[in-house]
Amino acid sequence: MLYKNLVIINNEKIFKENNNFYCDNLDLKIIPEGLNEYHEVQYIVRNSNKKGGQKVNLKNIKVASNIVKFIYFIFKTLKIPNVSYLLVCITPYTFLSFLILFLFRKKRIFVYLFSSGHEEYKHILGSWSVWIYHIMYKIITSNSKVIVCHERLYKKKSHLVNVSRLNDDWLKDQKSASLDKVRFFYVGRMNPEKGIFEFLKLFDKIKFDAEFSIIGNVENQKILNKNIKLLGYIADPKSLINIYDKHNIMVLPSFTEGTPYTVDESLSRKRPVIIFEDIAYIVRDKKGIFVSKRDIDSFSKTTKYIMDNYLEIQKKMEKNVLPTKKSMIKQISDIIKLQNS
C-alpha cells in the first residue's frame, strides 16, 4: 500500500495573507515544497504577525493562531486515509502533536532533527530546561522513526540525510575573492545560541583591518562599530550569492548546530569558513572550514593563516562534494516511502 499523504507539523511560524503564505526561515519553505513533489502534503504551522521575504508555494497550509487551533488541525488529519506524519524538530507543539497521534495509534510517525535541542534549550532557557527537552526527546524518538542531519543528534538507529539548499545557481559562475582586506560575514539570526553577540565583542578587539557584515533580521540592533554593517534579510537567492562573493571569510560563531546550510553555501562559492570549538564536529571531511578558540589571539591567527594561504585553500576546496537541495528532499522522501512499504 502506498502511503502518499504526508502531514508535516512544524513549530515555526508563517504569515498568511489572502491565501498566500510567507516566511523568513528557508526550512519552512524548502522541505514542504520539495516533499510535495513526491507526496500529497498538508502543512501545519503557527501564525506569524510579520510578513517574511519568502513565499511558500504550497496550497494546503493550516496556520494556527493559537494552541487550540493547532490541536484542532491535528485532530482533523486523523481522518486522512493512509497518512504519514513528519514532525520537524522536538518542541512543546510537536510533542503535543505526537501525543495525540500516539494515543490514536498512528504508526507512521517520523521526526526530523536538524539541530541539538538539548544544547539549544540550555543556551536559551538555562541548564534547568534541558531535562524538559530530554523527556520530550526520549518519548518521541522511542516511538517514531528518526531522521537526522548529523549522527550526533541520535545515537541509536536513525536515517541520515545530507541537508542542503544549494541549487545550480550556487555552483556556477564563481567569482574571485578580493583580498585587499579581510571581509568577514555572517548569515543567520541574531539569537543567543548563534553566538553572534559574543562574536561582536570579539570583533571589537581585532587589531587588523577588517569589516564584518551581518545578513539576517537585525531589528532593534544598535551597532556602534563603523566597520560592522547590518545588511538585513536578503530573500532573493541571486542577491544573496552576490553578497557571499563580495566577502572573503564567513564566520559561524554558533554554540550549537546541526548541519548549517550557510557553511555549504560559503564552500560552494569558495569562501573559507571560521567556526569555533563548540561546533568542530561539523567539519567532517570538508575542505575550507577552520576551527578557532573563542579568544582574539586564536581567531587572529586563524584569520591570518587563511588570508596568507587563500588561493591554496580554494584549490583544496575544489575537492568538496556538496549535497544539493534536490538530493536532500529525495533522501527524505525515499526514507518515508521505504519505511511505509
Would you state the pLDDT for residue 69? Answer: 97
Residue with the bigger pLDDT between 145 and 114: it is 145
Q: Quick one: cell of 182?
A: 579581510
Do 187 and 114 lie in one domain? The reply is no
Do 250 and 200 lie in one domain? The reply is yes
Parent domain of 232: 168-317
Reported confidence tier of residue 134, pLDDT bands at 50, 70, 90? confident
Give the count of domains, the chain: 2
The pLDDT tens digits of the residues spanning 202-251 come to 999 999 999 999 998 877 777 889 999 999 888 888 999 999 999 999 99
Do 11 and 44 lie in one domain? The reply is yes
Would you state the pLDDT for residue 165? Answer: 87
Do 40 and 173 lie in one domain? The reply is no
- CB contact set of 273 (below 8 Å; sequence gap of 6+): 249, 250, 251, 252, 263, 266, 267, 288, 289, 290
Do 50 and 158 lie in one domain? The reply is yes
The CATH number linked to 189 is 3.40.50.2000
- Percent with pLDDT over 70 in the chain: 94
Would you state the pLDDT for residue 264? Answer: 93
Do 177 and 303 lie in one domain? The reply is yes
Nearest to 243 by CA among 175, 166, 318: 175
Do 29 and 172 lie in one domain? The reply is no
Do 262 and 304 lie in one domain? The reply is yes
Query: How buried is 16 (Cβ within 10 angstroms: 0-12 exposed, 13-18 middle, 19+ buried)?
Result: middle
pTM (two decimals): 0.80
Residue with the bigger pLDDT between 156 and 154: it is 156
The pLDDT tens digits of the residues spanning 100-121 come to 999 999 989 999 987 666 666 7
Say yes or no to pLDDT of 27 above 90: no
DSSP state at residue 218: -
Q: Quick one: cell of 13?
A: 511560524
**In whole angstroms, what is the distance from residue 44 CA to residue 58 CA?**
12
Do 36 and 124 lie in one domain? The reply is yes
CB 3 within 8 A of CB 108: yes
Say yes or no to pLDDT of 2 above 60: no
Q: Quick one: cell of 97?
A: 502533536
Do 217 and 288 lie in one domain? The reply is yes
H helices then E strands: how many in the chain?
Answer: 12, 15
Do 156 and 200 lie in one domain? The reply is no
Nearest to 240 by CA among 185, 184, 321: 185
Mean model confidence pLDDT for the chain:
90
**In whole angstroms, what is the distance from residue 24 CA to residue 61 CA?**
16
The pLDDT tens digits of the residues spanning 281-327 come to 888 889 999 999 999 999 999 999 999 999 999 999 999 999 999 99
- Percent with pLDDT over 90 in the chain: 63
Say yes or no to pLDDT of 268 above 90: yes
Do 306 and 234 lie in one domain? The reply is yes
Would you state the pLDDT for residue 1? Answer: 45
The CATH number linked to 135 is 3.40.50
Q: Which residues pair with 273 in a beta bridge?
A: 250, 289
